[in-house]
Copies of this chain bind each other. A is one copy, B any other.
């Protein structure tokens, strides 16, 4: 079995207290003792048990993370950034991938509780009352990253979705488009559903562009729904000249649908996405997108979480980051001729 502190103490000829002291970098240990201990540690290949240590310190250095879909480019990128920041601060991640499975989420939340994680990061906003109650009962710092649940007690790290959607729509309008289709998200989601839709509508109305209900659809942010919804729109009558989809995945789905029907982007239709996922650079034409600062968002989420954990930060509302429009090749100005 693995060596324990007692073995080290015996081999170094000191007490376990002394070993513990050099392990934790305390001063007040004579150099020669320190040396003997360090050699014993090396000889034995000793590494202190975090689990014993956690028990006495009441500190696990663990953060629980709930991701809706690990295989999504957007979430895996945030997660990657979260992991990087956490690990460079001495924290490890317990990752739960819930694929729209409430039972699994509950089960995992319970694992988080049993593992005594010090904080929880959640990346979806569809929490039901039961889950909400459970989370609250944990009395742990909780941060929603990139999403905002209805419950005002939670803190989110997000962009201003309303404004971002407004800007994306305005961009299309300024390109001369007047028939601007919209593929939105789940309207029970505050930020990615409602706020992005409002941004779209208000931009149209501010610019005096008519809202065309036949060009509006709502999906689930995934490629498949973008495809289906665009197909529906095409079947429905005169197509839009431009499309704003509230996720890059749905924008790509729409582009694929157009491709399969022999339509060209951006010649036959301009398309703008949302998120700034890696896909934007991988597809052809490259996808213009209203981007979230994905990497920075993950980092800021963890930095804030760490401060929340050590009591250094008093939350006062959400943390709003800047969005950024990145123009690529999927939009063009309309030329009436």
Interface residues, chain A, CB within 8 Å of chain B?
Answer: 2, 45, 47-52, 54-55, 60, 69-71, 73, 76-77, 79-80, 83-84, 87, 92-97, 99, 104, 107-108, 110-111, 113-116, 137, 223, 252, 256, 259-260, 278-279, 282-284
CA distance A83 to B256 in the complex (A): 31
Distance to closest chain B CB from A146 (angstroms): 15
Q: Are B71 and A278 in contact (CB under 8 A)?
A: yes
CA distance A16 to B314 in the complex (A): 38
Distance to closest chain B CB from A181 (angstroms): 20
Q: Select A116's contact among B49, B76, B87, B108, beta carbons within 8 Å.
A: B49
From DSSP, what is the main secondary structure of chain A's interface residues? Answer: helix
Number of copies: 2
A–B Cβ pairs within 8 angstroms, 14 of them:
A2-B113, A49-B116, A50-B114, A51-B55, A51-B60, A71-B278, A73-B73, A76-B76, A84-B99, A93-B95, A94-B94, A95-B95, A256-B284, A282-B283
CB-CB < 8 A to A256: which residues of B?
282, 284
Q: Are B83 and A76 in contact (CB under 8 A)?
A: no
Nearest opposing residue in chain B for A256, CB measure: B284
Q: Are A116 and B51 in contact (CB under 8 A)?
A: yes
Q: Are B80 and A97 in contact (CB under 8 A)?
A: yes
Please judge, given known A-B contacts A50-B116, A92-B94, A113-B47, whether A71 and B70 are in contact too, CB under 8 Å: no
Nearest opposing residue in chain B for A258, CB measure: B284
Please judge, given known A-B contacts A47-B113, A113-B47, A116-B50, whether A96 and B87 are in contact too, CB under 8 Å: yes
Please judge, given known A-B contacts A47-B114, A51-B60, whether A76 and B70 are in contact too, CB under 8 Å: yes
Distance to closest chain B CB from A102 (angstroms): 14
Q: Are A252 and B71 in contact (CB under 8 A)?
A: no
Nearest opposing residue in chain B for A101, CB measure: B84
